[in-house]
Amino acid sequence: MLMTTETGIRLSYHDHGDGPPVLLLTGTGAPSSVWDLHQVPALRAAGFRVITMDNRGIPPSDEGADGFTIEDLVADVAALIEHLDVAPCRVVGTSMGSYIAQELALKHPELLDAVVLMAACGKSSLVQRVLAEGEAKLIELGTELPPGFLPAVRAMHNLGPATLADDDLTGDWLDLFEAADNWGPGVRAQLRLSALPDRLDAYRSIKVPCHVVSFEHDLVAPQAAGRELAAAIPGATHRTIPGCGHFGYLENPEAVNRELIRFLRAESAARLEETA
């Protein structure tokens, strides 16, 4: 389904089922379909209405070839929540999706019921900032690298050691990365936003209930960065999922789904008690 915001931006989204609404936000370069295999069915089975969207920069949403800001992505999500009339909504983000959710919690707390921040941090490391800018520059220049090189870099950067130690499993991931290696200007713009400035002080003003989920072997948003983020957000909790890297929601989906459902159900119960 497509909606058009008041500023003329087209956003693609999918709306699954009934129940308390949960909106899932993807990371850099990822389409909404990454949630379909594991998270959408698990959350639907747990009784939630699941909404997924393609962030600006990912077709069929507007590609944003002229560039955009994190404020633009936050406004897009707010517009979708209001369009679907699902406020206050539960939001689950991963990586850049968590960055969007963190900023949304600051700007529009009235739209949110609870937030799960996976593979999240309050500031990116120097290496992450340099790598994101370098990848964006490669896209801009149209640089042709040897076949398989970028998929291998992405595998090393995003997967855990158990996955990388299994050649058959790693081969499947390399094929997936290779098939998805058609990044355009919208992804370039996302890459330039994916490395966070230091936002920890700002996040001390977040009032929405938040749960930070780190992945044990995440090189992009390490456990320590997740704990730091949770310590900055008043009342936030933190949990680490073992045995996986930055793509933990795909590497260890059973553990991730249990954690999502546990937190979302607990927050739903708390809200019911408050209104009783």
- CA angle at 111 for the pair 110 and 112, rounded to the nearest 5°: 95
CA distance 17 to 59: 23
Compute the mean pLDDT over every residue in the chain, rounded to the nearest whole number.
93
| 171 inside domain | no
Amino acid making up residue 263: F
Asked whether residue 132 is domain-assigned, the answer is no
Q: Which of 108, 211, 217, 246 is catalytic?
A: 246
Q: What's residue 187's pLDDT? A: 85
For 32-61, write each residue's pLDDT tens digit: 999 999 999 999 999 999 999 999 999 999
| Dihedral sign, Cα of residue 154, residue 157, residue 159, residue 163 | positive
| Within-domain flag for 89 | yes
Per the structure, the count of domains in the chain is: 1
Query: Which one of 12, 95, 124, 214 is the catalytic residue?
Result: 95
pLDDT, tens digit, for every residue of 61-107? 999 888 899 999 999 999 999 999 999 999 999 999 999 999 999 99
Per residue in 10-29, pLDDT (tens digit) is: 999 999 999 999 999 999 99
Kindly indicate the confidence band of residue 276, based on its pLDDT and cuts at 50, 70 and 90: low
Q: How confident is the model at residue 185 (pLDDT cuts 50, 70, 90)?
A: confident
* Residue 223, pLDDT above cutoff 90: yes
Give the whole-angstrom CA distance, residue 69 versus residue 72.
5
In a domain, 179, yes or no: no
Structural domain contains residue 239: yes
Does any domain span residue 144?
no
pLDDT at 204 over 90: yes
Predicted TM-score of the model (pTM): 0.94
Domain-embedded: residue 28 = yes
User: Looking at residue 32, which CATH number applies to its domain?
Assistant: 3.40.50.1820
The reply to whether 161 falls in a domain is: no
pLDDT at 136: 79
Per-residue pLDDT band for 275 (boundaries 50, 70, 90) equals low
Q: What range does the domain containing 82 cover?
A: 2-124+198-275
How many Å apart are CA 52 and CA 182, to the nearest integer?
Answer: 22
Confidence of residue 148 (pLDDT cuts 50, 70, 90): confident
Annotated active-site residue in 54, 62, 72, 218: 218
Q: Indicate if 95 belongs to the active site.
A: yes
User: CA-CA distance, 138 to 57, in Å (whole number)?
Assistant: 17
